[in-house]
């Protein structure tokens, strides 16, 4: 058995509609290669960055994904060959060209992606009334219409200025 660590650029469409691994982002692969009778069994774990869109507030979601999968690469009808030789050859092939794993990687990653990503677990989302982001600007509208609210604010501000009668100038 041998192990191999690789970093490969993420292929395109390692993603679902709302979230995914950006194309070209580094995907870390830890591979364990085992000779079995029929070929080489590759057990892989992959770690990759994720970028997506929060389903509540439409803000950016950054996360990581960890998946593991295994895949048997069968020898083309070559059971008599010495397995160790095949393993060495296979490793050379893998290091030069890791695309063989791409489909398995994609299947595993796509299955692991959240269908409803949140920017944070308690994301407050967007205000149903004014559309503002409630994470950045927590508020509620009570019963006052928003236009009245701003009018009220300016009236209050005016009050503060003119509330007290000007003191008589010192003699
Ligand atoms: Zn959010
Ligand atoms: Zn609002």
Distance, CA of 93 to CA of 147 (rounded, Å) = 67
Distance 145 CA to ligand 2 centre (A): 10
Q: Which two tokens stand for residue 73?
A: 């690469």
Contact 37, 104 (CB under 8 A): no
Distance 144 CA to ligand 1 centre (A): 26
Residue 15 contacts by C-beta under 8 Å, 6 or more apart in sequence? 21, 110, 113
pLDDT tens digits along 122-163: 999 999 989 999 999 999 887 656 566 677 777 777 655 545
Find the ligand nearest to 122 CA. 1
Instruction: Give the pLDDT score at 158.
Output: 67
DSSP alpha helices (H): ranges in the chain?
83-96, 102-112, 146-162
Distance 126 CA to ligand 1 centre (A): 8
- Domains of the chain, by residue range, sit at 2-112, 125-163
Instruction: Give the pLDDT score at 169.
Output: 63
Distance, CA of 85 to CA of 35 (rounded, Å) = 10
Distance 162 CA to ligand 2 centre (A): 30
Distance 152 CA to ligand 2 centre (A): 16
Distance, CA of 33 to CA of 1 (rounded, Å) = 6
Distance 148 CA to ligand 1 centre (A): 28
pLDDT tens digits along 53-83: 999 999 999 999 999 998 877 665 544 455 5
Distance 15 CA to ligand 1 centre (A): 19
Instruction: Give the pLDDT score at 79.
Output: 44
Distance 154 CA to ligand 2 centre (A): 18
Q: DSSP label at 113?
A: S
Find the ligand nearest to 128 CA. 2
Distance 146 CA to ligand 2 centre (A): 8
């Amino acid at each position: 058995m041998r192990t191999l660590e690789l970093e490969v650029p993420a292929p395109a469409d390692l993603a679902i509609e709302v979230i995914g691994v950006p194309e070209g982002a580094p995907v870390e692969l830890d591979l364990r290669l085992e000779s079995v009778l029929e070929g080489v069994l590759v057990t892989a774990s992959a770690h990759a960055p994720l970028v997506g869109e929060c389903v509540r507030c439409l803000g950016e979601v950054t996360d990581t994904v960890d998946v593991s999968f295994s895949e048997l690469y069968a020898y083309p009808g070559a059971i008599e060959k010495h397995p160790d030789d095949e393993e060495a050859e296979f490793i050379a092939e893998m290091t030069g060209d890791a695309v063989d794993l791409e489909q398995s990687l994609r299947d595993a990653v796509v299955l692991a992606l959240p269908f409803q990503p949140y920017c944070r677990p308690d994301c407050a989302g967007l205000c149903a009334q004014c559309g503002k982001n409630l994470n950045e600007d927590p508020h509620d509208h009570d019963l006052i219409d928003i236009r009245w609210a701003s009018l009220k604010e300016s009236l209050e501000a005016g009050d503060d200025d003119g509330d007290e009668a000007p003191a008589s100038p010192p003699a």
